Amino acid sequence: MKITDLRCAIIGGQPVIRIKTDEGVDGYGSAARLRSAHIRWHVEYYRDLILGSDPTDVERTMLKIRRLGAFKPWGSSVSGIEVALWDLAGKAANVPVYKLLGGKVRDRVRVYNGAIRTPLSAKNPEDYAESSARMKDLPQGFTIIKQAISFHGKMDAEVPDYYYGDNQGVSIPGMHPSPSYPNRGLLTEKGFNHTVNCVVAMKEVLGDEIGLALDCGPGMTVTDTLKLARALEPYNIMWLEDTVRGDFSPSVDPDLFLQITPHTTTPIHTGEQIYLRENFKNLIEQKAVNIIGPDPLDVGGIAEMKWIAQYADLHGILFAPHGIGVGLIGLAAQIQAAATYPDNFIAFEYSTGRPDWWYDIVQGLPGLQGQPETIVRDGFVDVPDRPGLGITLDVEIAQQYLESEDKDFFE
């Protein structure tokens, strides 16, 4: 079997990658939605490098392109290609991808709310409490809920005198804050107390029934992160995510996290922006954080995720992958990989189909077709046993939503 083409299309804002072969077997992958502006040319950049390769030799094929990616967002194309290769290899062998990754150790995988978040009318404690109450009652029955606070929750822009800064971040709809220049700085006493009060309000609603994780930055200082972690110790927060580093940060900086993690019992989490296993090495070996959360469509793919999870497990570090915005193809990839992780796996961030007609295109996800609320039951997703990623695309429906430059995508 040989690769004959590599293509990328934008379907409803979701970048979809297709690998074609000379035996008529195709593999599909995806890239995160935020990359759609540049993703076509970036994916196609790798076409000539993998044409003629045997796609079932996933590692040999990836060696040709893996070193050409970089930290978020520049590893997304390489990661999406890797996912498509595994989908193709599984279909060719007529087995689910988890079999090729070593076999599953669980039949269902825990997820947290991720892309399903009830909106906040404002950024006050009562608003966070109301939002938490609505998420607690969601039909998916999530056992872990993550909420955005501090810089990640745009408190810097919406809460007066929140921090000692001048709001340099450029507002981009749907992003938090600007990836080109995020707001960053020392919290005022008012801002710090406001943050703590909002978290306490959420915990009063969720109690000990549902775990609460917090997405915080990047943008927090080391001192504020440690102060916040210590202040929240009585509330058994699951983790503080991406405080000093995170979204679109070009560095790892374990030395900064080492000023925080050993000095608090509140778990510290990071990793969604990091590309490749090599860049997790110091975080893991130095035990700079308690939990790492790579994104399968930023880190280099799902085999990379498996390696990192195992290496973290050897060092006593927990694993809670990022994954918002990867769409339903990315969700299928997350499920396959999560079925194989060691026992340090907590849960991964759940991704949805947007717009809703994506649930008509993707066939084979757990639950009832066309009813997205049935995919997650009691906070878990069942692992499918069908070949590849366990899904197929309804080409006839998908073609209706192709953009003009992608009309030949399925040909």
- The residue ranges of every structural domain in the chain are 3-95+395-406, 100-388
- CATH number assigned to the domain covering 100-388: 3.20.20.120
Q: Greater confidence, 59 or 36?
A: 59
Q: Greater confidence, 166 or 42?
A: 42
Position 176 pLDDT exceeds 60: no
pLDDT, average across residues 239-262: 96
CB proximity list for 124: less than 8 A, separation 6 or greater: 198
pLDDT > 70 fraction of the chain, expressed in percent and rounded: 96
Burial class (CB in 10 A: 0-12, 13-18, 19+), 343: exposed
**DSSP, residue by residue, 70-115:** -STTTTHHHHHHHHHHHHHHHHHHTSBHHHHTT--S-SEEEEE-TT
| Residue 157 pLDDT level (bands cut at 50, 70, 90) | confident
| Residue 182 pLDDT level (bands cut at 50, 70, 90) | confident
SS3 content of the chain, % helix, strand, coil (to 5): 35, 15, 50
Position 180 pLDDT exceeds 70: no
pLDDT > 90 fraction of the chain, expressed in percent and rounded: 88
Rounded CA gap, 290 and 343, in Å?
A: 14
pLDDT tens digit sequence for 103-149: 999 999 999 999 998 889 899 999 999 999 999 999 999 999 999 99
pLDDT, average across residues 320-328: 94
Position 266 pLDDT exceeds 70: yes
Q: Please give the pLDDT value at position 168.
A: 62
Rounded CA gap, 42 and 27, in Å?
A: 18
pLDDT, average across residues 224-241: 98
Instruction: Report the top-level CATH class of 3-95+395-406.
Output: alpha beta
| Residue 371 pLDDT level (bands cut at 50, 70, 90) | confident
pLDDT tens digit sequence for 239-248: 999 999 998 8
pLDDT, average across residues 210-214: 98
Omega of the bond prior to 218 within 30 degrees of 0, cis?
yes
Identify each DSSP E strand in 177-236 by its residue range.
Answer: 211-215
pLDDT tens digit sequence for 66-87: 999 999 999 999 999 999 999 9
Rounded CA gap, 301 and 284, in Å?
A: 19
Q: Please give the pLDDT value at position 325.
A: 87
| Residue 179 pLDDT level (bands cut at 50, 70, 90) | low
Residue type, 60: R
Which range is least confidently modeled, 36-40, 160-164, 183-187, 249-253?
36-40
Rounded CA gap, 403 and 409, in Å?
A: 10
pLDDT tens digit sequence for 19-54: 999 999 999 999 988 777 788 999 999 999 999 999
Phi, psi of 181 (to 5 degrees): -155, 85
CA-based torsion, 224, 229, 231, 237: positive or negative: positive
pLDDT, average across residues 146-154: 95
Position 178 pLDDT exceeds 60: no
CB proximity list for 212: less than 8 A, separation 6 or greater: 132, 144, 145, 146, 147, 199, 202, 203, 206, 235, 237, 238
In Å, what is the CA distance from 323 to each residue of 120, 152, 242, 318, 340? 21, 16, 14, 16, 17
CA-based torsion, 334, 337, 338, 343: positive or negative: negative
Tell which residue, 29, 16, 7, has the closest CA to residue 337. 29
Q: Please give the pLDDT value at position 369.
A: 66
Tell which residue, 215, 201, 349, has the closest CA to residue 270. 215
Q: Reduced to 3 states, what is the DSSP secondary structure of residue 261?
A: helix
Q: Please give the pLDDT value at position 370.
A: 62
- Helix H or strand E encompassing 319: strand 318-319
